[in-house]
């Protein structure tokens, strides 16, 4: 579900944080809104970005609207010989807030409506009081999941973009074997 804990990723690169930011700016279009573009943002590169200090956001340019598609929120942490890139996939905070308000409102208004309908005589259009409130809650749960499903390939695309642009590799792959935490449980 969309309210679950976001998927986290950690990468390592030998580049400095400033070089990483420069590479990201060169390989992406900054998210500047315009009405003269089918995607809604200036430029034509496949990935859009914003950055603030050593924090950045990456998302795939799309030519349809999907508020629930994944966005990679990341931070660059300087290390002695390179940069640790920590990130997580999530949707914009205002979208999550709106969905929480939607579900809260639908539950708060719908519950008394269902109880009142069940307590009264079942005649006329009473079925509306039984169908509409659960449908609004179900819509608030399924719509974000459908949006995530529509953007299912975007997470993989953004990870590959990050790996190639910053010459990065998953963090555990970058560590020598003796420094990795190994799971030493028996199989089976």
Confidence of residue 176 (pLDDT cuts 50, 70, 90): very low
* Alpha-carbon 59 to chain mean position: 9
Neighbours of 66 (CB within 10 A): 16
The DSSP bridge pattern shows strands 82-90 and 7-13 to be: antiparallel
pLDDT at 30: 76
Stretch 88-104: mean pLDDT, rounded?
92
Q: In angstroms, rounded to a whole number, what is the distance separating the alpha carbons of residues 145 and 142? A: 5
The alpha carbon dihedral of 96, 100, 101, 106 has a sign of positive
**pLDDT tens-digit readout, 25-78:** 999 887 666 666 555 566 667 788 889 999 999 988 887 778 888 889 999 999
Give the residue, 180 or 116, on which the prediction is more confident.
Answer: 116
């Amino acid at each position: 579900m969309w309210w679950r804990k976001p998927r986290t990723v950690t990468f390592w690169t030998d580049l400095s944080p400033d070089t990483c930011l420069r590479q990201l700016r060169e390989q992406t279009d900054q998210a500047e809104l315009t009405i003269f573009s089918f995607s809604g943002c200036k430029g034509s590169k496949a990935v859009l970005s914003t950055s603030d200090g050593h924090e950045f956001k990456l998302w795939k340019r799309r030519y349809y609207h999907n508020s629930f598609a994944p966005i990679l929120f990341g931070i660059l942490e300087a290390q002695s010989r390179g940069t640790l890139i920590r990130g997580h996939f999530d949707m914009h905070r205002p979208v999550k807030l709106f969905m929480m308000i939607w579900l809260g409102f639908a539950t708060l208004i719908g519950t008394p409506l269902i109880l009142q309908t069940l307590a009264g005589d079942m005649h006329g259009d009473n079925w509306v009081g039984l169908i509409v409130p659960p449908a609004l809650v179900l819509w608030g749960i399924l719509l974000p999941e459908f949006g995530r499903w529509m953007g299912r390939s975007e997470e993989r695309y953004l990870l590959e973009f990050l790996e190639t642009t910053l010459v990065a590799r998953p963090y555990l792959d970058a560590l020598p074997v003796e420094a990795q935490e190994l799971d030493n449980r028996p199989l089976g």
